[in-house]
Structure 1
């Protein structure tokens, strides 16, 4: 690969209970292939922050990136990414990785058919048996180490509704994780119907840990496609 004038930066946005640390294995592969990557730590992980707070964090990071960006959102991270990318001028593509690609007026709870409390509680504890839920196809020692790094998640972030949706105007790709125990594939397929393109990977909920090379290759292919499109527009 060689850098072109419009080669995008990849901004990776983690899901609930996680942090930017979860992308480290994937970013080492991507950077070895010459990709520029950025990550954020969402305030809703460990603090009583909501979707808008997370979206502001994402927008601030986007504003610090010079040039076009492909935003990769995992799981819950799809919600603030959807919110944030509606106002960001440098987002060329959104990738939803087993993520909630919600529409305006939807929250994680409402989309899931769960009641939305008027006064959300403080923090949602880390789920029971996170190894099985999130890391079922990750080597056991690595999965157990990852589980130790999880933190309580703001309950408010699950209740907050999306007020604007970037994927209405920004091209999007959905990556279905076919063996996902946290967000079942049949639910992902419903969300994926909102994306412009759909790919599938034979993995659990966290392919950035279980299949980083395969996921990196897929993200690189998406990034190359975005670059080709941007170069075509500017040639």
Structure 2
């Protein structure tokens, strides 16, 4: 199966960030012939109480807008957005739609979490004694921020200039989004039509999501029999800033594999 033109890449940011985190990535994807689309998640809107379900609904709305224009879509999800994107694509695969009216071709997780649907993420965080790198109920009840985002998100390979640029744009995150229940996940249901069209891009120098944790999540979600796995060696958590060209080339390689699987 070959899709012409290339699918649109929907870029979904992680916690505390916004769609601006992809500013340095989009031109590299465009140079490879991809259109891009962006979405801002409600969890970083400054409103306490927004949940993963709210975020998944926002991503689903963005996808459906693209599908209404007969676009084929690949979702690229970073960090926190992994479970959000996997929830948003339920029932929207090109296989399940069975019509030449657009659909989601596949999901690419970039240094992203993989959690099962129904998981109580808040309980999991309490079980490990909390998150030592955050300040809870800051700057107001129901929101939280990271204590040292420069070293957490951007070490070791984002330049000081880009680190300062990004840190200045971070927003408080809704605590309810990280402490709530994970929505139902497309990756758990083979009937969704994403067989051969799930991918994970590992980042071996990652601080908040160490590569050993990435590998454990991949293995727990079916391993390499279910996920196409690529690796950005020595990359920190934010390769869309430190090595956007390499990210774009990796996405291009994965998309071609998705098309063959379809």
Number of aligned residues: 224
TM-score under structure 1 normalisation? 0.88
CA distance in 1, matches of 2:121, 2:34: 31
Q: For residues 85-124 of structure 1, what are the structure 2 equivalents within 5 Å?
A: 85-89=89-93, 90-112=103-125, 113-114=127-128, 122-124=142-144
1:221 to 233, 237, 253: 253
Distance 1:176 1:111, change over 3 A: farther
Which blocks of at least 5 consecutive residues in structure 2 are unaligned? Answer: 94-102, 131-136
Deviations 1:157-205 (A, max 9, x none): 0122123111123231111110001111111111122252211112000
1:199 and 2:230 matched: yes
CA distance in 1, matches of 2:229, 2:179: 27
Which blocks of at least 5 consecutive residues in structure 1 are unaligned? Answer: 231-235
TM-score under structure 2 normalisation? 0.80
Q: CA RMSD in A?
A: 2.0
Q: For residues 1-235 of structure 1, what are the structure 2 equivalents within 5 Å?
A: 4-5=3-4, 7-45=6-44, 46-48=46-48, 49-65=50-66, 66-89=70-93, 90-112=103-125, 113-114=127-128, 122-125=142-145, 127-136=146-155, 137-168=157-188, 169=190, 170=194, 171-193=197-219, 194=221, 195-202=226-233, 203-230=235-262
CA distance in 1, matches of 2:26, 2:16: 20
Deviations 1:91-141 (A, max 9, x none): 22111111111112224444554479xxx951012x122111111110101
> SS of the counterpart of 1:218?
helix
